[in-house]
Structure 1
Amino acid sequence: MQTWIRFQTGDGAIGFGRIEGDRVAEYDGPGFAGPQPTGATLPRAGLRLLSPCEPGKVVALWNNFHALARKLEKPVPRHPLFLIKPASSLAGPGDPIVRPRSYAGKIVYEGELGIVIGRRCRDAAPAEAAAHIFGYTVVNDVTASEVIGEDPGFPQWCRAKGFDTFGCIGPAIVTAFDWRAARVVTRLDGTERQNYPLSDLIFSPEQQVSLISQDLTLMPGDVIACGTSLGVGSMKDGAVVEVSIDGIGALVNHMRG
């Protein structure tokens, strides 16, 4: 199991590397297509964490947990139900979630596991899917919830979830992560709001990669947000939201009006 981060140094340089104790071994390249060590190491102290990857797209799932499907009285889907969050929605650890000027309604947190794609993936068989996963990260799939039903003729999922800063990812990518034993915990201003087991997933990460790759090509650095479970709620301007998964870390962002 390895932990990879993307970071900014004090002089503004951006790098990618693997954590080794209190230092970071720097690698050349984005880290998803055979990264090569530069030979340089940096002290972790003083590095500003950025989103650990820069996805071309975030594939965000809906209704992918048995507990939530029961609460919503929805059938278990036969194929992952998803939407696309644009690359421009990306935010990293410590970045603000910025309220759109055009929107005064509820903004919702959704703590999730994220799958980071490591190799170009198209029509992957289930047995091949794991080889296309570089590692796992933490996602807050932020949503302007009132936008979804704003037009009764067309649910606007992509617009509601695609605003700038609504795709929070970080703080790291962990390879060979045992997601089956992990839980997602979301805290709002220090109060626990979500705490659910990833073992309750309807589609496993390997199934997600295989089935979604039948619909579109997944590229290195793309992220699949695995969907959320019970406990979703709204955030007020000024609130601090923390999504954590033991073994990966805590993704902390704050709402800015």
Structure 2
Amino acid sequence: MAGRQQMEWARIRADNGTEVTGVVEDGMLHPRAALGSAESAGGPIPLAGATLLPPCIPGKFIGLWNNFKAAAERNGWDTPEHPLYFLKPLSSLAGPGATVTLAPDLGRVLFEGELGIVIGKTCSHVSVEEAAEAIFGYTCVNDITALDILNADPSFPQWTRAKGFDGFGVIGPVIQTDVNWEDLTVKVMVGERERQSYPANDMIMSPAQIVSKLSADMTLEPSDIIACGTSIGARPIKAGQEVTVVVDGIGALPVTIAD
């Protein structure tokens, strides 16, 4: 990736079935050779009639837990010195407009509206300043969680299983490269009702701090996704509901829940 040349990036499936990554402008997708590339890969494609896909395909999908001050205070959690995180399998990846089918006997399943960091260049053991430069942009995330599965076995919290079912890692609709994360508010609508709303600037660790600290544990690579964690207001969802994560400045990320 070459950095922040453009503001809004998306990935679509065109009418002919071709999957294309490019820059969104005036209702058109302008294809590029790769995410972040300035090299054109064809003429513009109308977004009308195209299917929005997850805006990138990450090599790693990392999710944070306990990264918001309000939630930590309400639950009596200590402030972590290092990100507390898990990995979601790539088979959980879903995009805007997807249908998320709940497997039988999952018990309570929660939405978790989150801000997602998209990595723009390979980084390992980087400083906070270098980490800020490695962030390509931001997207919306719905980190769906089978809460009863997570705590079903008292000897082993099942983070991967609880957060790894097909469709439980929703990202999109686009990646915004020209946005100040501190100005953003993460909201979740269930149908027409607002069920979650919190400021991104309540994070315990900033995006640059998160990237810096994670880069000491593993090499982060272009298109990797880091979900910054959620705050107060995550609630159960059920079949038949439409759940939409909304971040003004990025967009709306809807999914339909089915069984």
Q: Is the 8 A contact 2:187 2:247 kept in 1?
A: yes
Residue 25 (structure 1) aligned with residue 25 (structure 2): no
User: What is the SS of the residue equivalent to 2:41?
Assistant: strand
- What residue identity is the alignment partner of 2:50? L
CA offset at residue 176 of structure 1? 2.5
Q: Is the 8 A contact 1:186 1:193 kept in 2?
A: yes
**Deviating 4+ runs (over 4 angstroms):** none
1:69 corresponds to: 72
Task: Give the unaligned 5+ runs of structure 2.
Answer: 1-5
1:105 corresponds to: 107
CA offset at residue 39 of structure 1? 4.4
CA offset at residue 144 of structure 1? 0.5
- What residue identity is the alignment partner of 2:30? A
1:220 corresponds to: 222
2:54 corresponds to: 51
- Map 1:72-83 onto structure 2 (within 5 A): 72-83=75-86
CA offset at residue 28 of structure 1? 1.4
CA offset at residue 125 of structure 1? 1.0
Q: Alignment partner for residue 9 of structure 2, among 4, 7, 18?
A: 4
Q: Alignment partner for residue 124 of structure 1, among 123, 126, 131?
A: 126
Q: Is the 8 A contact 2:106 2:148 kept in 1?
A: no
1:148 corresponds to: 150
Distance in 2 between the 1:220 and 1:79 partners? 22
Q: Is the 8 A contact 2:117 2:225 kept in 1?
A: yes
Distance in 1 between the 2:95 and 2:183 partners? 25
Q: Is the 8 A contact 1:56 1:86 kept in 2?
A: no
2:162 corresponds to: 160
2:3 corresponds to: none
Distance in 2 between the 1:121 and 1:86 partners? 21
Q: Alignment partner for residue 234 of structure 1, among 233, 236, 255?
A: 236
- What residue identity is the alignment partner of 1:17? G
1:115 corresponds to: 117
CA offset at residue 187 of structure 1? 0.8
Residue 13 (structure 1) aligned with residue 18 (structure 2): yes
Distance in 2 between the 1:256 and 1:220 partners? 32
Distance in 2 between the 1:190 and 1:39 partners? 39
2:173 corresponds to: 171
- What residue identity is the alignment partner of 1:63? N
User: What is the SS of the residue equivalent to 1:70?
Assistant: helix
Task: Give the unaligned 5+ runs of structure 1.
Answer: none
CA offset at residue 227 of structure 1? 0.2
- What residue identity is the alignment partner of 1:50? L
- Identity over the aligned pairs, expressed in percent? 46
Residue 189 (structure 1) aligned with residue 191 (structure 2): yes
Q: Is the 8 A contact 2:141 2:245 kept in 1?
A: yes
CA offset at residue 219 of structure 1? 1.4
CA RMSD of aligned residues (A): 1.1
TM-score by length of 2: 0.95
Residue 86 (structure 1) aligned with residue 96 (structure 2): no
- What residue identity is the alignment partner of 1:147? I
User: What is the SS of the residue equivalent to 1:36?
Assistant: coil
User: What is the SS of the residue equivalent to 1:10?
Assistant: coil
Distance in 2 between the 1:163 and 1:54 partners? 17
CA offset at residue 40 of structure 1? 1.2
CA offset at residue 22 of structure 1? 2.2
Q: Is the 8 A contact 1:174 1:248 kept in 2?
A: yes
CA offset at residue 38 of structure 1? 2.2
TM-score by length of 1: 0.96
- What residue identity is the alignment partner of 1:153? S
